[in-house]
Structure 1
Amino acid sequence: MPTGRGTAHEPRKCDAALSRAFRFLGKRWNGVLLGTLMAGPASFSEIKRALAGINDSVLSERLSELAAAGLLVRSVIEGPPVAVSYALTPVGQELFPALEALTSWAERNLMDDGPCAGKV
């Protein structure tokens, strides 16, 4: 159907890529977990401390999902003691601009009541 500007009107469509991104990143903890790793590699316990309220099994599951998606890598550091570190891959680091933009937008527009509320 033509519009007043002489172009055909396209019905609104759900953007499939955006839908996939929000389905994955919007899954509880995934986005904030990736945001936590923007500061650099961290151990399981450091990540858990940063994400108040997450339990060990959910954190382990989310870390595995993000690693399987190629967004982070798990590294074992030989000891003693043996340590495990998680870091963003180059693909995960590509999310920096989007996560920073979402963070800035949220600071301006949303109330401070999430899992990081009150943290410095």
Structure 2
Amino acid sequence: MADHSEEACKRVDVSITRVFELLGKRWTGPIISVLMERAVYFAELRRAIPGISERMLSDRLTELGTAGLVVREVDEGPPLRVAYRLTAAGAAMEPALKELSLWAESYLRESAEKGC
């Protein structure tokens, strides 16, 4: 029998909640996926993620930077260019993200095929 008490509801894993509050936002996954490969200039990153606006990309990169997962690096140029790369903490997500990708291929295949 399921436990529906108030105390049971308070036992939600705080770490998982924090992860999904950050990574569950739209566009965050694709941004991290692109940055897993290498450091990327802002314009390249925007081109790599169809449909994302400059404002949204900037906002997500700021959030990821605040969380300590992404670093902003300015190349003085000319021209002035800004690149982003994952920190050690951001890069450490790679094994977990690969596992999620495998899971999605196995269990979300029907949904993904419908979107094509």
- In the superposition, the TM-score normalised over structure 1's length comes to 0.79
Shift of 1:59: 0.5
- The corresponding residue for 1:77 is 75
What residue ranges of structure 2 are gaps of 5+ in the alignment?
1-7
- The corresponding residue for 1:96 is 94
Overall identity of the aligned pairs, in %: 44
- Which one has the largest radius of gyration? 1
Local SS of the residue matching 2:38:
coil
Local SS of the residue matching 2:63:
helix
d(CA) in 1 for partners of 2:107 and 2:43?
31
- The corresponding residue for 1:30 is 28
Higher helix share: 2
d(CA) in 1 for partners of 2:30 and 2:78?
31
Q: 4+ residue runs of structure 1 moved beyond 4 angstroms?
A: none
What residue ranges of structure 1 are gaps of 5+ in the alignment?
1-10
Alignment RMSD, CA only? 1.7
- In the superposition, the TM-score normalised over structure 2's length comes to 0.82
